[in-house]
Amino acid sequence: MHDEHAGHGYIGDKDAYLKRLRRIEGQVRGLQRMVEQEQYCIDILTQVSAVTKGLQAVSMGLLEDHLGHCVVDAARTGDAEADAKVKEASAAIARLLRS
């Protein structure tokens, strides 16, 4: 179902994605500390919002890369793979909208 990793659309931005995900990981650890230290609810919620926005940005970037690379490449073939990639992208978009 998935191509070799060298063909993934995000590879060109891999370092930027990793940097962003590490930042988000640090924010989540910070959230854990805030709860452990019994900090104010609104302050914690503000940080949850920041983490959520960061994850949304990663998701949108990956989706854009997938559409611009994987789906476009499959569409050029015009075969069943193209249909599968479009359905796969549609399902991913639906999952993002539900989250």
Nearest to 71 by CA among 54, 44, 90: 90
Q: Which sign does the torsion angle of CA 31, 33, 35, 38 carry? A: negative
> Are the C-beta atoms of residues 47 and 31 closer than 8 Å to each other?
yes
pLDDT of residue 42: 97
The type of residue at 61 is G
Decide if 8 is inside a domain. Answer: no
pLDDT by residue (tens digit) across 8-29?
A: 888 888 999 999 999 999 999 9
Instruction: Show the domain range for 60.
Output: 14-97
Instruction: Tally the domains of the chain.
Output: 1
Quote the pTM value. Answer: 0.80
Decide if 2 is inside a domain. Answer: no
Decide if 3 is inside a domain. Answer: no
Decide if 69 is inside a domain. Answer: yes
Decide if 25 is inside a domain. Answer: yes
Any idea what the CATH number is for the domain that residue 91 is in? 1.20.58.1000
pLDDT by residue (tens digit) across 29-72?
A: 999 999 999 999 999 999 999 999 999 999 999 999 999 988 88
